[in-house]
Amino acid sequence: MIIPKGSKLSPEQLAEVEKIAENFDCSILEIQGHNRCVYAILGDESREVMFKRIAGLHFIHRVDMIESPYKLMDRRSGLSDHSVKIGENKVGSVAPFIIGGPCTIDPDNPNLFLETAHALKEAGVNALRGGVWKPRTNPYSYQGDVKALEIILQAREETKLPIDLEVMDGEQLKIAHEAGVDVLQIGTRNALNYSLLKEVGSLTAGSKVSVLLKRGRHMASPNEFIAAAEYLVAAGNPNILLCPRGTTPILDGYRNHPDESITPLLKNRTWAPVIVDPSHSVGHADFVKACSIASIAYGADGLCIESHIEPSKGIGDDPKQAITPAVMKELIDACQMVWSNRYQTDF
């Protein structure tokens, strides 16, 4: 990891660094953070001579060798002061960042989504979510419809809130990216799809687009989750949101095993904001508020919550796990109270 003295290397300086790296069969990847660029050495970086030559250049501040399977995501990396911005908000700065909206946008009833979006804005959410394409366990369940993209774009236009939606393959990725979607979600089923992660990272490299990476429900290890995020950053996009959303259920009663308690571990090991998804964790609207409050107490920077103006009219997960905008308002107030009084960790 190369940290320049200035905020960015000039093309000539970059060429000089690249030339040294090439002599050692390595290449250089520029990663654009909000405050400055850092440069990752790709290849076998454990060459002392290469390190010394690069570190000796007058425009280089430091070269760090981070012994970690996720050297860019690591808190000790040059990206540790990178902040992720969605719209005008720096995630995790003054209040929990709340993403809200239905599991699935009903393409035949646009008003349900639009009314939900306005009610959620009133309730205080910071971004809207809604499924356009859906990963369904049952192949005969509703799979999504590109028509829903127009609806969420219209909601953004009307509410001025940034939007988040899931993409599952390269084709959907291109459509969503061209439409200017602010946050691309990689769901639990694709959380280990390394080809897709690389594609998302490189297509959005250097842009303002954020990626909300859900934790795979089968993932036992926090490091495996962080390494998946590393793929996105190593492909060029450091705007990462880590999203625990429950793992394989071991409690009879919850949809998944709530894993908000992983938050301090993630914050201890990485610099990335943590946005917990309580809806898929517990899978039942009545338990979402408790899981949200617990997540904030654990140090989460925000929440991604399924919400629908009339859950019983929803499709996908909405009838069972979406909360109403009125409950969302209560939940945001309760979370804000916990946020303001929570123990300040200093990892």
Q: Which residues lie near Mn ion (CB under 5 A)?
A: 103, 317
Site track 324-343 with ligand PEP (rule: CB under 6 A), x = hit: --------------------
CA distance 213 to 139: 23
Coarse DSSP helix, strand, coil percentages of the chain, rounded to the nearest 5 percent: 40, 20, 40
CA distance 127 to 89: 10
Q: Which is nearer to Mn ion, 103 or 173 (CB)?
A: 103
* Distances, alpha carbon 29 to alpha carbons 55, 133, 134, in Å: 16, 32, 33
Site track 55-94 with ligand PEP (rule: CB under 6 A), x = hit: ----------------------------------------
Binding test (CB under 6 A) with ligand PEP, winner from 78, 187, 201, 244: 187
Least Å distance between CB 262 and ligand PEP? 14
Judge whether 110 and 151 are in contact, CB under 8 Å.
yes
Site track 92-121 with ligand PEP (rule: CB under 6 A), x = hit: -----------x------------------
The number of residues that bind ligand PEP (CB under 6 A) is 10
* Partner whose binding site includes residue 92, from Mn ion, ligand PEP, none (CB under 5 to 8 Å by kind): none
Instruction: Tell me if 289 contacts ligand PEP by CB under 6 A.
Output: no
CA distance 24 to 54: 12
Q: Which of 318, 320, 229 is nearest to 273 (CA)?
A: 229
Q: Which of 94, 86, 92 is nearest to 156 (CA)?
A: 86
Phi, psi of 59 (to 5 degrees): -95, 5
> Which residue, judged by CB position, is nearest to ligand PEP in the bound state?
187
Least Å distance between CB 131 and ligand PEP? 5
Element (H, E) at 68: none
Binding test (CB under 6 A) with ligand PEP, winner from 214, 267, 269, 289: 214
Beta bridge partners of 133: 144
Beta bridge partners of 217: none
Q: Which of 285, 329, 315 is nearest to 112 (CA)?
A: 315
Q: Which is nearer to ligand PEP, 2 or 291 (CB)?
A: 291
* Distances, alpha carbon 172 to alpha carbons 132, 149, 178, 218, 241, in Å: 10, 11, 10, 24, 20
Q: Which is nearer to ligand PEP, 20 or 125 (CB)?
A: 125
Binding test (CB under 6 A) with ligand PEP, winner from 96, 100, 101, 131: 131
Binding test (CB under 6 A) with ligand PEP, winner from 71, 245, 255, 269: 245
Binding test (CB under 6 A) with ligand PEP, winner from 255, 267, 280, 289: 280
* Partner whose binding site includes residue 135, from Mn ion, ligand PEP, none (CB under 5 to 8 Å by kind): ligand PEP
List of residues contacting ligand PEP (CB under 6 A): 103, 131, 135, 166, 187-188, 214, 245, 277, 280
